[in-house]
Amino acid sequence: MSESISHYSWAGEPLADDQIGLLAGICSTRAIRRYANEPVPEKDLRDILFGATRAPSGSNRQPFRFVVLTDSARARQAKALIGEAARALWAEKFKRDGYAEGSGGDAQSPKARMARTMDQYVQGFEKAPVLILPCLVRYREPTPAEGGSVYPAVQNLLLAARAIGYGGVITGFHHQVDAELKALLDIPEAVFIAATVTLGKPAGKHGPVRRRPMAELVYGDQWSQAPDWAIDPPGTRYTRAGPPTKAAT
């Protein structure tokens, strides 16, 4: 354990050791939608959520809150609510975005593999070991920038999970059942449920992730003009998802 975090401990039990380096974790934390059928120990949840709560926020108000649901009767109800919404939303997206068309007809294509992964995820949503609802306690009228006070904490959560061998994915499936969730979990009406995060021990593995080339995402002094140093490391693999890219890599 590094000297900088060695003073964090609970009754002599230290913060979990980071299994990977920070930058390596950032570059390999992918969306994990398949989980081993095993619970997440409370001490690991503690360490993950501790990392999440260390995130920055506007004026250091720390308006983020996390509702952590595992296997109680209320947790199972919440998972069922969101699971039903997830299946309906995915079925609509599958049809709207033509996942069965074009390259989707090739079972080995990235498009078809993504469809299978999503279908498996939503069909087994209720089996996710942990469901976390990151929330924002609003202290003013909603603004386009308010996510800056909650989403850094969500990313901290995912990175902390990655550091000690877990994985998760952030979704918006809860929006369809926002009112029902608030009633079930006694969440005040003024609180914004910012995301749905499922978490568990990966059934597969983490990265390295595939993303767009850095030169398409990082600009210098002018829009759409990449600086000379925006070069990916040799061997970087790229995604073919999303809008057409300038690079044919």
Tens of pLDDT along the chain (249 residues)? Answer: 444 555 677 777 888 888 888 888 888 898 999 999 999 999 999 999 999 999 999 888 999 999 999 999 999 999 999 999 999 999 999 999 999 888 888 888 888 888 999 999 999 999 999 999 999 999 899 999 899 999 999 999 999 999 999 999 999 999 999 999 999 999 999 999 999 999 999 997 777 788 889 999 999 999 999 999 999 988 888 886 655 555 433
Which segments of the chain are extended strands (E)? 9-10, 13-14, 64-69, 130-137, 167-171, 191-193, 196-200
* CA atoms of 213 and 230, how far apart (whole Å): 9
Amino acid at 6: S
Q: Is 143 helix (H, G, I), strand (E, B) or coil?
A: coil
Q: Which residues pair with 170 in a beta bridge?
A: 197
42-53 helix and 151-163 helix, angle to the nearest 10 degrees: 140
* CA atoms of 33 and 203, how far apart (whole Å): 9
168 within 8 A of 64, measured Cβ to Cβ: no
User: What are the residue ranges spanned by the domains of the chain?
Assistant: 3-209, 213-249
SS (H, E, C) 60-102: HCCCEEEEEECCCHHHHHHHHHHHHHHHHHHHHHHHHCCCCCH
Q: What is the DSSP letter of 105?
A: G
pTM (predicted TM-score): 0.87
- What dihedral angle (degrees, nearest 10) is formed by the CA atoms of 145, 146, 148, 153? -170
CATH of domain 3-209: 3.40.109.10
* CA atoms of 26 and 23, how far apart (whole Å): 5
| Assigned token pair, 236 | 């970087």
